[in-house]
A = this chain, B = another copy of it.
């Protein structure tokens, strides 16, 4: 194989997501299989600026595919938005012989990757975020694990909510996007799914529905709130006061970021990691890997950042028929 790059770096940046380790493993093993050296960069761009860099071999990634988190650690790095630090980073790459970088992270991390590309370091982004809020791809690393974690928590909450004939509000992650809420709401048979994209803030409507349902004998009610929709504890209080139905709020929080990755997250993260290395070997730069229409593809980073996506319209459509009982 005649690779366009000789040595690549790999880093994880932004919020961690289950499956990142599978992607790192695939990057390392594909690179080595292609005759390319791999340097692990710790703690994202922050570690790059501090030269926290170490060579990796196939054994460095043995027995990690099943682990949550990221063995390379991750951090946010505000400095990296400044030109000065971007140039310093490119310099460090050159010093270490790194002529290509795989950046596993979200939109913010891809901004940084694009800057490095402009400074002559070949870069490819891999979408890693539990929030699914990257427009150019139907899949992001960690989403599948996060929705299963949240759904299993909701299954447990329903047990106790039903035994006590309570109303239960569950707040899930998602930053400004309602994907986790939509999927887990459908999967847990929630009565109400409130997303930032679609919820109009009219709690009175929800209260009335609960009152109606309560009258016809429904014993429990589950409301899934996307992060950002409102304060779940205050909503619980308002609902309890208006309906007389005991109401409890649970904020699932950071457990949604952890855990052993699901099969899909391990397989797709592996494929995306491999794809990123193949792009670099082919001399591509300023690209981001995506999964669209049943295939692993790649886009120009800037074009990808300019795309927009909302909630899956068919999934949103069926919630109206499945969740009103």
Given A29-B322, A159-B258, A321-B33, A294:B296 Cβ within 8 A: no
A278 CB → nearest B CB, Å: 9
Do B16 and A155 touch across chains, with their CB atoms under 8 A apart? no
Do A318 and B274 touch across chains, with their CB atoms under 8 A apart? yes
Do A58 and B163 touch across chains, with their CB atoms under 8 A apart? no
Chain B minimum-CB-distance residue to A72: B163
Contacts of A56 in B (CB 8 A): none
Q: What is the 8 Å Cβ interface bit string for chain A, positions 156-193, against chain B (1 contact, 0 not)?
A: 11111111110010000000000000011011110000
A70 interfacial contact with B, CB 8 Å? yes
Do A184 and B263 touch across chains, with their CB atoms under 8 A apart? yes
A168 CB → nearest B CB, Å: 7
A53 interfacial contact with B, CB 8 Å? no
A153 interfacial contact with B, CB 8 Å? yes
Do A159 and B259 touch across chains, with their CB atoms under 8 A apart? yes
Do B250 and A255 touch across chains, with their CB atoms under 8 A apart? yes
Contacts of A248 in B (CB 8 A): 253-254
Residues of A185-222 whose CB lies within 8 A of B: 186-189, 219
Residues of A207-256 whose CB lies within 8 A of B: 219, 248, 250-255
A136 CB → nearest B CB, Å: 13
When all copies of this chain in the complex are counted, the total is 4
Question: Which residue of B149, B155, B186, B294 is within 8 Å of A259 (Cβ)?
Answer: B155
Do A263 and B155 touch across chains, with their CB atoms under 8 A apart? no
Contacts of A219 in B (CB 8 A): 73
A86 interfacial contact with B, CB 8 Å? no
Contacts of A43 in B (CB 8 A): 165
Contacts of A131 in B (CB 8 A): none
A209 CB → nearest B CB, Å: 15
Residues of A124-157 whose CB lies within 8 A of B: 138, 144, 147-149, 151, 153, 155-157
Stretch among A3-11, A109-117, A265-273 lining the B interface: A265-273
7 additional A-B residue pairs with CB within 8 Å, beyond A160-B258, A187-B270: A73-B162, A73-B165, A144-B263, A156-B258, A186-B270, A275-B314, A296-B314
Chain A residues in the interface with B (C-beta under 8 A):
12, 16, 18, 22, 25-26, 29-30, 33-34, 43, 58, 62-63, 65-70, 73-75, 138, 144, 147-149, 151, 153, 155-165, 168, 183-184, 186-189, 219, 248, 250-255, 257-260, 262-264, 266-267, 270-271, 274-275, 292-296, 314-315, 318, 320-322, 324-325
